[in-house]
C-alpha cells in the first residue's frame, strides 16, 4: 500500500498533485492552511511550517509509514543579492533545501525496511539555468537537484527512486506573483518560452503520478524539465 505525503498541498501545484495522487493510496498532506488542507479529503493532514518546525512533520512521516514523499513546498524571492538579508537567505534555503533533506531522512528508514520508496522533489528550471535577481531561489533549487542525484545512487539498491521535476513558468498564483516582482511583463516572458505558454499544475501532477508508478521504476536520479521548452533555449 502506498502511503503518500505531499508537502505544500494547500494550493497551486501541491494541491493539484495531492488531488491527482488521491486514488493511488493513502494520501496525507501538509501545509499551513488548515481549511485548505481539510477540504482535500486526504486520510490525514499535518499543519506545519517546514522552515521553522520540520520535526513536527518528521514525526508525522514516521507515524504514518510514508513511502511516497513529494517535496513540493517552496518559497520564492526576487531581488539583487546585495539587497538580501540573512533572514531571507536562511528562510528560503530552509524551506527549499534543508527541510526536504530532513524529511527524506525521516522517511528513508521505513522505505529501506520495505525495500520500496518513491521520492519526488519539485525543483525549478531556475535551478537548472539560473535566474538573475533570484539567486537565492536558484541556488536552493540547484541544491535540490544535487541532493536528488546523490540520493538516487545511495538508495538505488533498496528499490527507492529519487527524481526532481523542474517546472518552468507555471499558471499559478505564485507564478503570477513572481511576475509582479520581476522587471518583465507576462507577455515578455511568454515571448521567451518556445511553446508560448505557461505549464499547468495538472501537467506536473500527472508526471508525478507516473513517477510513483511501477512503470517508472527505472527512472531515478533525474531532473525532468517540464518547462514548455524554456530550458532548450530561445
Instruction: Give the model confidence (pLDDT) of 176-192 as tens digits.
Output: 666 666 677 888 888 88
Run of H or E including 147? helix 135-155
Mean model confidence pLDDT for the chain:
95
The active-site residue out of 45, 76, 78, 137 is 137
Catalytic residue flag (residue 137): yes
> Does residue 154 lie in a domain region?
yes
> Does residue 32 lie in a domain region?
yes
What confidence tens digit (pLDDT) does each residue in 84-107 have? 999 999 999 999 999 999 999 999
Contact in structure between 95 and 197 (CB atoms under 8 Å): no
What confidence tens digit (pLDDT) does each residue in 15-45 have? 999 999 999 999 999 999 999 999 999 999 9
**What are the beta bridge partners of residue 84?**
none
Look at the chain and report how many structural domains it folds into: 1
For residue 131, give its domain range: 3-170+200-226
> Does residue 142 lie in a domain region?
yes
Q: What is the distance between the alpha carbons of residues 44 and 87, in angstroms, rounded to a whole number? A: 32
> Does residue 184 lie in a domain region?
no
Q: What is the pLDDT of residue 189?
A: 86
> Does residue 136 lie in a domain region?
yes
* Distances in whole angstroms, Cα of residue 83 to Cα of each of 34, 78, 80, 135: 33, 10, 5, 11
> Does residue 12 lie in a domain region?
yes
Could you tell me the pTM of the whole model? 0.94
Distance from first CA to last CA of the chain, Å, rounded? 44
| Three-state DSSP class for residue 111 | helix
> Does residue 193 lie in a domain region?
no
Q: 83 is written with which cell numbers?
A: 539587497
> Does residue 130 lie in a domain region?
yes
CATH number (domain holding residue 128): 3.40.50.720
Amino acid at each position: 500500500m502506498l502511503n503518500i505525503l505531499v508537502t505544500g498541498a494547500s494550493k497551486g501545484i501541491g494541491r493539484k498533485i495531492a488531488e491527482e495522487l488521491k486514488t493511488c493510496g493513502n494520501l496525507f498532506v501538509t501545509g499551513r492552511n488548515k481549511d485548505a488542507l481539510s477540504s482535500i479529503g486526504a486520510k490525514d493532514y499535518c499543519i506545519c511550517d517546514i522552515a521553522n518546525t520540520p520535526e513536527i512533520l518528521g514525526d508525522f512521516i514516521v507515524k504514518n509509514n510514508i513511502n511516497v514523499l513529494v517535496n513540493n513546498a517552496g518559497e520564492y524571492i526576487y531581488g539583487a543579492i546585495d539587497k538580501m538579508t540573512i533572514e531571507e537567505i536562511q528562510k528560503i534555503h530552509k524551506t527549499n533545501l534543508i527541510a526536504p533533506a530532513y524529511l527524506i531522512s525521516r522517511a528513508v528508514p521505513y522505505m529501506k525496511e520495505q525495500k520500496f520508496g518513491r521520492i519526488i522533489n519539485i525543483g525549478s528550471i531556475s535551478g537548472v539555468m539560473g535566474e538573475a535577481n533570484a539567486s537565492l531561489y536558484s541556488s536552493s533549487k540547484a541544491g535540490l537537484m544535487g541532493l536528488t542525484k546523490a540520493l538516487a545512487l545511495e538508495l538505488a539498491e533498496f528499490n527507492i527512486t529519487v527524481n526532481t521535476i523542474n517546472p518552468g513558468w507555471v499558471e499559478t498564483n505564485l507564478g503570477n506573483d513572481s511576475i509582479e516582482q520581476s522587471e518583465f511583463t507576462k507577455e515578455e516572458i511568454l515571448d521567451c518560452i518556445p511553446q508560448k505558454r505557461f505549464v499547468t499544475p495538472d501537467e506536473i501532477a500527472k508526471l508525478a503520478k507516473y513517477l510513483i508508478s511501477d512503470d517508472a521504476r527505472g527512472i531515478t536520479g533525474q531532473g525532468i524539465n517540464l518547462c514548455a521548452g524554456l530550458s532548450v533555449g530561445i
